[in-house]
Amino acid sequence: MLAAWLVDDPGALLALDAPLGWPADLGDALVGHRAGDPIDAPSERLFARATDHEVHARHGRMPLEVGAGWIARTARATLGLLDEVRGATGQPIPLAWSPETLHAAAAIEVYPAATLIAHGHALAGYKVPGSPGRAAVVKTWPDALVVPPSLDLVALNADAFDAIVCVLAGADFLAGAARGPDDLELARREGWIWVRG
């Protein structure tokens, strides 16, 4: 289905709520590692990326560590999906690093919770359909992001609502409102979470 959408709109931006890279120090440590040998790098550099620390510093929310736990499976599955879509469409679909350079389909990594914080929303209860927390978020939804009137944002399940927030993060990126990396070379290796401000 995603590939079909891209055929219809080959200039689309995919805003994906999953890590699209791993910590550089983890990759470096594992290249020549043998069972039983120590790994000298500190844990915070093995399991979290520069972008994760940046999001935490700016928005007070630490993304799940891609170098550990089940989120690594999500990252791998998302990268596999992206590769399948590339094959099905015949488009390269690179990661986008600036809205000014977009001329064809591209992808970015986003984090819905940080996007909501960046837009001034409290997170308490936002994932619970019908909750006061979700209603508070929807009440102050940005006018710039138009959703069909038939779509009840308050009642959506958590995954569907996060998908809508991913669209908001993509709109922030396209508007030039999402902050880019200071170290582009490292971000190209590890990935970057695009968040407003």
What are the extents of the domains in the chain? 13-96+106-196
Per run of 10 residues, the mean pLDDT along the chain (length 197 residues) is: 79 95 93 91 89 96 88 94 95 95 93 95 92 92 84 95 96 96 97 96
Question: Is the four-CA dihedral 185, 186, 189, 190 of positive or negative sign?
Answer: negative
Question: What pLDDT is stored for residue 145 in this prediction?
Answer: 81
Q: Indicate the DSSP class of residue 21.
A: S
At residue 107, the pLDDT reads 97
Looking at residue 8, its pLDDT comes to 77
Chain CA centroid to CA 134, Å: 20
- What end-to-end distance do the CA atoms of the chain give, in Å? 32
pLDDT of residue 88: 93
The overall pTM is greater than 0.85: yes
Supply the pLDDT for residue 195: 98
H helix or E strand, kind and range, residue 16: strand 13-16
pLDDT for residue 20:
97
